[in-house]
Amino acid sequence: MCSRNRRRSLTAETIFKGEPAWDISSAGTEESARIKVTAGQLGWADVIMVMEKRHKERLRQKYPEALAAKPCVCLFIADDYEFMDANLIEVLREKMRDHFPAAGK
């Protein structure tokens, strides 16, 4: 998840969509998001990944029940990249390997 689901989270969904062990979906936390997060999406997810701490806080405020028993991991990736930016892809792969060591193997 990111704010508007146009750059960071959409890039993450695009590059990790082919991972056989994962079922990936992305959304944004703001009203202006391309795809806005819903309680249903949060209920569907086993793990919720957010780009910034404020995204996690927004989710906790708006969907406390849906987040109660779910791991929510913050990747701490600032909104400094464009969609499919090579540097963003490298950062995403590195951060995901930190949390899921089998990622990218």
pLDDT along the chain (105 residues), means of 10: 95 93 93 95 95 96 92 96 98 92 61
pLDDT for the residue 103: 57
Side-chain-side CA neighbours of residue 65 (13 Å)? 3
pLDDT for the residue 18: 85
pLDDT for the residue 101: 79
pLDDT for the residue 91: 98
Handedness of CA 48, 95, 15, 100 (dihedral sign): negative
pTM higher than 0.75 for the full model? Answer: yes
Q: Which residues pair with 36 in a beta bridge?
A: 28
Return the residue matching tokens 């990790």: 16
Burial environment of residue 87 by CB neighbours within 10 A (0 to 12, 13 to 18, 19 or more): exposed
pLDDT for the residue 52: 97
Whole-angstrom Cα Rg for the chain: 13
Ordered by start, the domain boundaries in the chain are 8-99
